[in-house]
Amino acid sequence: MTTVSSSRAVIRQKLVKTRIIATIGPASESAEMLRELVVSGVDIFRLNFAHGSHAWLSELVLKIRTISAELECPVGILGDLSGPKIRLGAIVGDEVQCNEGAEFRFIRGNQSDVPTDLTCTYEPLIDDVKPGDRILLADGTVAMVVVEKDSNGGWIRCLVIQSGKVRSRQGVNLPGVALSTPSVTEKDRKDLEWALQNQIDFIGLSFVRQAEDIRDLHRLIASHNPKVVPLIVAKIEKTEAIDDLENILDATDAVMVARGDLGVEAEISRVPILQKLIIRRCNELRIPVITATQMLDSMQTNELPTRAEVTDVANAVIDGTDAVMLSGETAIGAHPLQCVRMMDRIAVEAESLVVSADPAHLRDDEDRRARPITEAVTRGTIAAAEYLQADLIVVATVTGRTALALSRMRSKVPVLAFTDREDVARRMCLYWGVTPILNQVVQQSADALLQYVISWGRKNDVLRSGSKLIIVGHTNWLGETHDLMMVHVVP
């Protein structure tokens, strides 16, 4: 496949509105596979900082940026901080059966000689919990309750209330327990510094508990005075985050519904409802939202997903998620390319049921992320585009805010967003329905942009004679700053 034909394939793919995020791992780290994943529909690659050295991650960034330039297609990068993830230490015999009614202890230190004495990577666990608190192990399949705490602080005694087998280094969850550790660990600080040096576009903050965690990360990023300031993605995976959701949404740039740990921390039957509520509120406040974890999990080994997985992805799209994310499916699975293609097929089918926002019914308190004039122009643009059955909405943007405002409207008319800033182009890879185009033409006249769009549209089989375009943007084309909307019919 030639560069030109690949580029055109990517551009056509990008007109699909739901964004796809793929996690990189051993199954997808080669330049050839990364390129095929972009051509198949990946908009953003996720780097999981819990795995891999900075040297390896730097190689991945170079590969992604090279592929992006070759295909003339912006590709975002999400750096996912590990956060204070708690894991079991080594267990005698590497695993132990926990039968209901059996007693175990958590002790200090990093090793134990007794199978029923457990250790963990989070030493303050013994200090933070109290009798009556639950401790969940092995992704929540095993549950214990604290029944006694050593007066000298050396151990806690627990009773198994849900039986199962646990293995060394499996995850530990403490639902409802206020942890004394900060949300950004020392490892996270080092990973963040690397991310800022490499101009990573999005930073995922794991195990967010309250809005102050987001503000702390904002301050930490600002202290480095980075050339490019990444968007913060608040990962909602703890019940404390649900309790402080409104304040978290006020502080963050984007949200991830991280259903893995959320399904352990909260009652698992609540997860679908919480997902829908979070997506709906993010849509109202114009905050990009990602739905993640086990979306096509069976495709790690199988070539086709289950019907339930297909329904899950489709429902997330219909609910209004901006992006769907693949984790193990593309990181370690046997069929990373098939997973992305399947995700795309499901999204295309589901998008026909996405309901456009009615500009007349939007509340003023939901419009805080755009200037009132910009908001008015974007509302008018959507109304005009749908009334005229336009083929494209074209945005000239410096910061991406106008594109984000249009994305929130969930119009069926695709949006092309032109910018001359690489960081803004990559940032817009997260916006539903927005195809970012990096080009210097936005610095010229409205006519120059119009002619470029028509040429681009004809070349890529998007526009033809009689096609209707609506151009909107925050510009200084007329000698001073203006927000404008222009309708054009292709001759």
Cite the active site residues.
Answer: 46, 87, 235, 293
User: What residue has token string 């056509």?
Assistant: 12
The answer to whether 263 touches 273, Cβ cutoff 8 Å, is no
The answer to whether 437 touches 422, Cβ cutoff 8 Å, is no
Per DSSP, helices labelled H in 202-331 are 211-223, 239-243, 245-251, 259-265, 271-284, 307-319, 328-331
Cβ neighbours around 189 below 10 Å, total:
13
The answer to whether 431 touches 401, Cβ cutoff 8 Å, is no
Phi-psi region of 290 (alpha: psi -120 to 50; beta: other; left: phi over 0): beta
Nearest to 87 by CA among 167, 2, 196: 167
Tokens representing 128? 């933070």
The answer to whether 98 touches 165, Cβ cutoff 8 Å, is yes
For 82, list phi and psi in degrees, rounded to 5. -70, -40
**Three-state DSSP class for 158?**
strand
User: What residue has token string 């899950």?
Assistant: 312
Non-local (6+) Cβ contacts of 52 within 8 A are none
Q: How far apart are CA 484 and CA 475, in angstroms?
A: 8
DSSP label of 168: T
The answer to whether 177 touches 128, Cβ cutoff 8 Å, is yes
Q: How far apart are CA 88 and CA 64, in angstroms?
A: 35
Non-local (6+) Cβ contacts of 338 within 8 A are 299, 303
Tokens representing 31? 């330049």
Nearest to 203 by CA among 173, 171, 230, 165: 230
User: What residue has token string 């079991």?
Assistant: 88
Q: What share of the chain is helix, strand, coil (3-state, %, to 5)?
A: 40, 25, 35
Q: How far apart are CA 17 and CA 350, in angstroms?
A: 10
Integer-rounded Cα radius of gyration of the chain: 24
H or E stretch including 258?
Answer: strand 254-258
Tokens representing 450? 């119009």
Q: How far apart are CA 284 and CA 368, in angstroms?
A: 10
H or E stretch including 436?
Answer: strand 434-438
